[in-house]
Amino acid sequence: MGSLIASTSHRRPAPGAPWRTRVPIAIGALCALLVPGCSVDGEAQSAPARPSLTPRLVAATAFPHGASTVPGPGVMSVIADVAGPAGTVEPERCRAPEVVSEGAAANVGPDSVAAPDTSPGILPDTGSVGSSGTPAAGTTGTLTVLITYAPAGLDTFDMFFAKCGRFTTSTAGASSRVVLQKLPARTVGGAIGTRSYARTVTTGGQRGSLSYAITTLVAQHDGVRVYAEHRRQGTGANPQQISADLDTLFRRAVEKAWPSRG
């Protein structure tokens, strides 16, 4: 996601910790694409269900420091966090490219090894909908892979980058400032298209603020989109820096989603 905002930060988990201690819980309405029905003989019919993308999601064991699979109900929160923001966006044109929630799947893990911290806590909203507990001691961020169906091509990201270098979001009463910057796309081979971007998200004001550096790599082919995200907290993190762990995880995610490379 200049940089884009996602409203919340994932809990910094440790391998083996229960998912509920590692992934944010949604605290507000989440934006999802509605699948339109079709008409047969003048009667509205439900669109056929989309197959689950879970079999094409990179395994939690492929993460550099382990990960947890997000249960079905929690995937909506990850979508808002990674592919968002949700809530109010100003200007309105700066909504991120849409995804389809049906069939989506996600894994979330820490970007370093640390013991789990199960103490309660809520971090300020950062532009999407969700919340996070207090980060685990010793962690600096999270790594997330999300796989979804995509209703449009990657050219929607190009328009997003061109028009939305800076914008604001508001969710659950919290306002955030987002700086979005396009990064050089990664090359993965075959017919798979890619995009890369950096977001700096700042929530708060004169009494104190919270900043996130978010680096996101995207791949898409044949109506399926993969996001690999590295999220770090603090003003010292550089979202334009693509870590070796993120690059490796992204390539593994692409290999799993498209074994034949399109």
Q: Which pLDDT tens digit goes with each residue over 179-218?
A: 999 999 999 988 999 999 999 999 876 677 888 999 999 9
- Cα 208 from Cα 203, distance rounded (Å): 9
- CA 252 from centre of chain: 17
Supply the pLDDT for residue 64. Answer: 95
CATH for 54-113+133-257, options being 3.40.1000, 3.40.50, 2.40.40, 4.10.1060: 3.40.1000
Percent of the chain with pLDDT over 70: 70
pLDDT digits (tens, 9 = 90+) for 77-124: 999 889 987 788 999 999 999 999 999 999 999 998 654 443 333 233
* Bigger pLDDT: 235 vs 166: 166
3-state class of 53 per DSSP?
coil
Token pair listed for 181: 């910057």
**DSSP E strands, 58-140:** 68-69, 88-90, 100-110
